[in-house]
Amino acid sequence: MIKVLKAGLETSIQDYPGRYGYWNQGFPPSGPMDSWSFRLANVLVGNLPGAAGLECQFLGPTLSFDADAVIAVTGADMRPALDGEPFPMWQSVAVRAGQTLALGAARVGGRAYIAVAGAFANEEKLGSRSTFNKAGVGGIDGHSIKAGQELPVAEGGGTPGLLVPNEHRPDIRTDRSWTIEVCAGPNDDWIDEAGKERFLNSAWTLSAKSDRTGFRLEGPEWTFTEKAYKKPKEHGSLPSNIIDQGYPMGAINLAGQTPIILVNDGPSMGGFINPYTVPSAAFWKLGQAKPGERLHFRLVSVAEAQHLAKEIAKRCVRENLVNA
């Protein structure tokens, strides 16, 4: 059992790849936004890469352990401390019963991950332990963790003293600037050439009005092809309106002139166009970007996006760990 002393900012139990198979009924997959860091945390403590762990957002939790455990902290640097002493990240570490792990505010990156050997053993809902906070599904009682809660942990072994070498970690930017891969479509034919050029060549600012549902972007104007204007009135009145359609996860959803990237807890359908889609291989960058940071988009093919995802998966294996 791990007791929550301070919850942090919407800290939640997630597993990977999350709640798959219910998108057609409106359930998003949820899961960790930076699944690269998340999987490495699990691999460090001897779990399967997708086992249930904690996602900490911008401000981390304080947890006390009532039993000995092997744990690992990866992702954003929230300056973790064990009983007040600096706690090494990207390593498996043995903690003793009675010790307290405290994470602070994110200095580098946005989201940190905590894995514990054996993994969290909250009840599965629709095949996943991931928390979908907005609908109250998964996690503990459907929501982010709260102070005073006790988080169940399954029996696990785990070897302390293992380390993820630098070359297998994600490169979390410190210059406030990210290059995010995008695939064209499904509705790129609604944007004219000038609009496409502006999208791909401009710096977009990540709004603070962003969360695990959507990442709102601020930037230049969108302009449209004839298709956006010459359409039956059922499509709606705005150029970016389309008759309700299914949305892919990662869709850059154009609400009027405001693009919103639909992320892990996003909606499965609606009446706006999605000119571009961020592939899963680039989601870790969204998870580590902070409000006010700049996003640049780089067009890739679906094959290239799939290759990137495979390359990330290859890094998240035990064989890559070294002794600390």
Partner 1 sequence: MPKRLLAPLPGLFYRRPSPEEAPFKQEGDAVAAGETIGLIEAMKSFFPVEAETAGKLARFLVQDGETVDADQAIAEME
Q: Which residues, including other chains, have CB under 8 Å from residue 207's CB and lie 6 or more apart?
A: 215, 216, 217, 218, 291
Query: What's the rounded Cα separation, in Å, for the pair 66 and 153?
Result: 11
- Residue 147 binds partner 1 (CB under 8 A): no
Least distance in angstroms from the C-beta of 186 to partner 1: 27
Least distance in angstroms from the C-beta of 78 to partner 1: 8
Least distance in angstroms from the C-beta of 110 to partner 1: 7
Least distance in angstroms from the C-beta of 189 to partner 1: 32
- Can you say whether residue 250 is alpha, beta or left, with left for phi > 0 and alpha for psi between -120 and 50 degrees? left
Neighbouring C-beta atoms of residue 82, cutoff 10 Å: 18
Q: Which stretch binds partner 1 (CB under 8 A): 99-107, 138-146, 263-271, 311-319?
A: 99-107
| Residue owning tokens 């302009």 | 223
Residues in contact with partner 1, shown as a per-residue x/- string from 204 to 243 under the rule CB under 8 A: ----xxxx--------------------------------
- Residue 87 binds partner 1 (CB under 8 A): no
- Residue 110 binds partner 1 (CB under 8 A): yes
Return the number of the residue (46 or 170) whose C-beta is nearest partner 1.
170
Task: Give φ, ψ of 245 to 5 degrees.
Answer: -140, 165
Q: What are the angstrom distances between the C-alpha of 229 and each of 80, 124, 194, 247?
A: 53, 46, 16, 21
Return the number of the residue (98 or 292) whose C-beta is nearest partner 1.
292
CB-side neighbour CA atoms (13 Å) of 136: 1
Return the number of the residue (236 or 267) whose C-beta is nearest partner 1.
267
Query: For partner 1, which residue of 1, 48, 67, 105 counts as binding (CB under 8 A)?
Result: 105
What one-character DSSP code corresponds to residue 10? Answer: S
Q: Which stretch binds partner 1 (CB under 8 A): 45-53, 92-100, 104-112, 187-195?
A: 104-112
